[in-house]
Chains A and B, each alone.
Chain A
Amino acid sequence: MGCGAMMKSVMEVLLLLMLIFTAHAKEKSYSPPEKPTQTRCRSPEKETFTCWWEPGSDGGLPTTYALYYCKENSETVYECPDYHTAGENSCFFNKNDTSIWVNYNISVVATNALGRAFSDPVDIDVVYIVEPNPPEKLTVAVMEDKGWPFLLVSWEPPHKADTRSGWITLIYELRVRLEEEDDWEMHHAGQQKMFNIFSLRSGGKYLVEVRCKPDHGFWSEWSSTSYVNVPDYFHREKSMWILVALFSAFIFLILTWLLHMNSHSLKHCILPPVPGPKIKGFDKQLLKNGNSDEIFSALVVPNFPPASTSKYEEMLVEYLEVYVPEEPELMLESKDLLDGCLKSENSRSDSDSGRGSCDSHTLLMDKCGGTKEEERQTNRESSLMETQGWKEEAINHDTSGRVKTWPSVYSPLPQYGSNPLDKQSSLETAKQHSLSTSSFLTQPGTEDALGPSYTDFCLSNKQNHLHPQMLAHRELQTRSDVNISNIGRKRSPASEYVEVQRVNKEDMVLLQPVVSRCGHIEGCPNLPKGEDYSKVKGVDCDNRLLLQREGTGEDVCPCVDQETNGEGGNCYTSSTVSTTQKPTACMYTAMPLQGETALTLNGYVDSATMGNMPSC
């Protein structure tokens, strides 16, 4: 018979006895006890164990509970040796009664006067019911590793569990949290009895707990909490980042505000408005409609471009009539000049932008020059008056916009041997540069051929690009009574110069426009390809221009000093240089005439001495 059968027989005997007892009991609504239930059995160190049960209702009568067990393959039924050590409704098995790797069959019996109740038997092996006590002596210390804190946690196994002999092997687990948090952070520590917690996020009060488990068994309860205060290492970092964030937010706000203020101009900058077509006669609606024929027919301007070439020829100035009035003042009307000059503002050297030679600094009529010009002119005038006694053509800046120029007539001399292009020196071939529709020649006070009289022709070239440097002017000595009348004021917008074709019998200089080619600014500008230039020696009594065949003596080339006002002088270039340069092709801004030096100029009227010279 097995252990269970034995127990049952014992129970039956007891039951009989109880029935005999209760036969004389009072008649009440009592009942036998309910079946107790065995809750659990646990061993803390694999050497002893305890079993607990849960009693059912006692049926109104005092009920006693008994625990009986028998071991594996043994018939002997034993009763619980100790009902009290482990508390109420428990049975404690001490070391002597505990056998490991032995199967226990345990039952609990509830007995009262009316009956008994058996619990369900439970088979246990102590090895598999081990639930140790929590670890002990938990210590937490704050350590520092390169400025960052960490927790060093250490503990000891429960004192009852014998790990030293190897009887039990425990593995540990610990958990950490901040005092104000709810979630624990778990760490598995294995078999070691100390652990480093590096995952600290901030300072404050930390709670640490640890528990253990045998390799086959149940987890222990959490140990008592250990508190530790971690100082605020992290505060500095956080505050710095807060500052950085605030600063960047501030900058961002400022930028947004600026953007908002300048939104309009930014819009124009980034997304410039698409210019619409501004063609006269161009109908946008037509374009949208898509009929191209209608559109382009609207654009057609009759009689444009001019079909006949004769028109072009008409624009050529064949000759100019120049007469020299008595008054020193010359008025030169040129609306175009005005326009050109007005357009050029204070431009001195560069005239690539379509401004005429009017904007050249040499032009006395340069209204845009302003007071500087006037000063220069006055200086010049005074100096000239002093030294030369020449009459100068006063330049009046008409406030109404009229511009007067110093007309200057130059004729190139054929002399320039280095110039391979042309050596023609005849009057017929001599070409004269002049710009203007009309020009007036001043009457010099002296009869001297060197009297400064010049005609400066300023041709409006609002349509053309005029390089000031390209203008090469020659001084021409003219007589006072040279009349050059401008016949047929014709503008030649395409060219700056008017070439002197010939001088006819009536003492008329026939001019022909020529494309201006000028030399450079500095030094002695060359007559550009000026093969057709000849130097005018003088004007004889018959009002004829005497042109020199060859350059004589020293060729003085007045240097250009564009920015100087009262300075300057004639400089003497080397002969080699001079041969290559047309002495008359010089640019001046303002040069006070130095007495005889000007007179030494061969055949040149130093227009610069008289005032601004038109420069290319």
Chain B
Amino acid sequence: MPGTIRSVSLVSVVLLVCLSSRRTSVGAAPICTNGQVGCHVLSLDNLFDRVIQHSARMHGISSDLHSEFEQYFLPSKNQIGRVGRICHTSTIITPNGKENAQRMAREQLTEVILKLLIAWRDPLWHFHQSMAHHHDFNNFSSNKALEMNDMVHELRQGVEKVAEKMQVLGIISNSVTSLASPEVLLPSDSADWRLMKDYDLLYCFRRDSNKVQNYLKILKCRIVPDHGC
């Protein structure tokens, strides 16, 4: 009996290792440069799908955190200060309608996405830090803040990959400056975000993540249509 148990467990372990390796191999397939043999090359629509899914998840987390803040830290509706809320990313010109978004060039749209993502890198990190220090919030919110922070990083890298791919494919020109020097895209008055309260920060980020998701979808359906558009 113990012999059979051992063999069964060994077999199961081997199977798990195989499966996990297979999964990770699929999940972590690097985007290969041209000419590299044996690389699992992802198609553009596949890249877009991944990025869009990523942005959807990011937006979901931000919505959850925002609603949590509304429960714990409900700002009174009669606050005057609330009217004056300004998101630090408001300087970034983003299309506010469908026509505007469709009229915008692909490169511009890609750049807007990247600008948004870059602009939120630091505030989110600080937000996470402040969440960790404030014991008013439970661990669940703190974990979400951390996750949100990581996701912005990953999403930005993903969108950069997509932009690279598009440039390689000749879909967009090489005028996307964000790839070269991301710091250029930072808003000039970037220090304003420190004045923002947590609740406003979350509110702003929720909106911006929605923008990112929507712009990515528009890009995808414009560049690689007929795949779920």
Contact = CB atoms under 8 A, between A and B. Distances in A.
Contacts of A4: 83
A552 interface: no
A99 B102 contact: no
A162 interface: yes
A232 interface: no
B97 A100 contact: yes
Contacts of A102: 96
Interface residues of B, number: 29
B210 A2 contact: no
Contacts of A347: none
B221 to A, nearest CB: 3
B225 to A, nearest CB: 8
A150 B113 CA distance: 45
B167 interface: no
Interface string B189-229: 00000000000000000010011001001111110010011
A169 B218 CA distance: 10
Given A3-B83, A215-B56, A164 B96 contact: no
Contacts of B98: 46-47, 100, 162, 165, 167
Interface in B20-56: 56
A167 B218 contact: yes
A127 interface: yes
B interface: dominant SS: helix
Given A2-B84, A3-B83, A73-B86, A165 B96 contact: no
* SS class, residues of chain A in contact with chain B: loop
B229 A216 contact: no
A3 B98 CA distance: 26
Interface string A164-205: 111101000000000000000000000100000000000000
Contacts of A396: none
Contacts of A169: 217
B94 interface: yes
B97 A166 contact: no
Contacts of A105: 83
Nearest to A47: B98
B207 to A, nearest CB: 5
A216 B217 CA distance: 14
Contacts, number: 61
A47 B214 CA distance: 14
A101 interface: yes
A166 B229 contact: yes
Interface string A43-65: 00011000000000000000000
Given A98-B97, A100-B96, A215-B56, A165 B207 contact: no
A213 to B, nearest CB: 14
B228 A191 contact: yes
A95 interface: yes
Q: Which of B63, B214, B219 has the most CB of A within 10 A?
A: B214
Nearest to B97: A100
B80 interface: yes
Contact of B97 (A99, A165, A191): A99
A25 to B, nearest CB: 34
Interface string B156-187: 00000000000000000000000000000000
A220 B140 CA distance: 32
Contacts of B83: 2-4, 105
Contact of A166 (B80, B96, B211, B222): B222
A345 interface: no
B146 interface: no
Contacts of B211: 101
Report which residue of A98, A105, A215 has the largest number of chain B beta carbons within 10 angstroms of its beta carbon.
Answer: A215
A215 B63 CA distance: 12
Contact of A101 (B59, B99, B210, B228): B210
B132 interface: no
B96 A101 contact: yes
Contacts of B61: none
A116 B140 CA distance: 47
A99 B80 contact: no
B63 A125 contact: no
A163 interface: yes
Interface in A1-30: 2-4
A95 B97 contact: yes
A336 to B, nearest CB: 72
A105 B84 CA distance: 12
A102 B85 CA distance: 12
Contacts of B101: 167
Contacts of A167: 98, 101, 214, 217-218
B228 to A, nearest CB: 6
27 contacts: A2-B84, A4-B83, A46-B98, A72-B85, A73-B90, A98-B97, A99-B97, A100-B96, A100-B97, A100-B98, A101-B96, A164-B229, A165-B98, A165-B102, A165-B221, A165-B222, A166-B214, A166-B219, A167-B98, A167-B101, A167-B214, A167-B218, A191-B228, A215-B56, A216-B59, A216-B63, A216-B210
In the A-B complex, the 9 residue pairs with the closest CB atoms: A166-B221, A166-B217, A2-B83, A99-B96, A167-B98, A166-B218, A100-B96, A166-B229, A165-B221
